[in-house]
Amino acid sequence: MNTYFFPAAERGLKDIGWLQSHLTFSFGPYANPERNGFGLLKVFNDDFVAPGKGFGLHAHANMEIISVLLAGTMNHKDSLGYSEVIPAGGVQIMSAGSGLRHEEYNVGDDEVNFLQIWIEPKLQNVTPRYQRRQFPEAQRANQLTTIVSNEEGTAHCWINQNAKLSLGYYTESHSLDYAFAPLNKMLYVFVISGTVRINDQVLSQRDALGIWNTHAPVHLDCAADTRFLLIEAPINH
């Protein structure tokens, strides 16, 4: 098993006052030739947005864009006709395909924190699509919950790629073995809060670990009150 450690302290930072974005991979002002993505995972931004502020109308194409809302309340409007308000626990996807435009603003009284994730698509120029599901923390305690998949369904969002995203939240210490889907060759583990040990590597809050070149399940030891996100995807096209 090969691994690559992404310490929280080594992330790039975009700070423009109303937005603080912690950047794992090269994005905007942060350019690191050694961190241009991990497999088909190209963007992983940990964003904090001040009340009343946000991202004005802008365009995307041919990218699977996923937002995981950890705190606060955010709106979403797009050129497909969607307009809604999303509370914490919301997960939204934009399968941008041939192109769409959208805006996102903090419409609450508190700071918004969300994870912005971009994954390269399996097919180009598909019909663009938006979808949102809610995953309240109280309803997924002490389990691993699929939030995004390549399979259609009513319990999660689905995207145009052989990828799977899962949220884990354990109130007590817990161990689990995570097995890859046959088509997926890499796993990205991001600790939201708490501590996760994988072999001899300890991940603390906002640390991440990339894993590839293994056919065996990945063993995770989670401390009490730990929250984390798993992303499995192909390593290349």
Read out DSSP for 193-207? ES-EEETTEEE-TT-
Whether pLDDT at 2 is above 80:
yes
Lowest mean pLDDT among 52-56, 77-81, 180-184, 190-194: 180-184
**pLDDT, position 153:** 87
d(CA 115, CA 88) in angstroms, rounded, equals 12
11-39 pLDDT tens trace = 999 999 999 999 999 998 999 999 999 99
Whether pLDDT at 105 is above 80:
yes
| Cβ(210)–Cβ(40) below 8 Å | no
**pLDDT, position 87:** 97
**pLDDT, position 236:** 85
Task: Give 182's pLDDT tier (boundaries 50, 70, 90).
Answer: confident
**pLDDT, position 185:** 85
Whether pLDDT at 237 is above 90:
no
**Closest to 133 (Cα-Cα) out of 159, 99, 108, 111:** 159
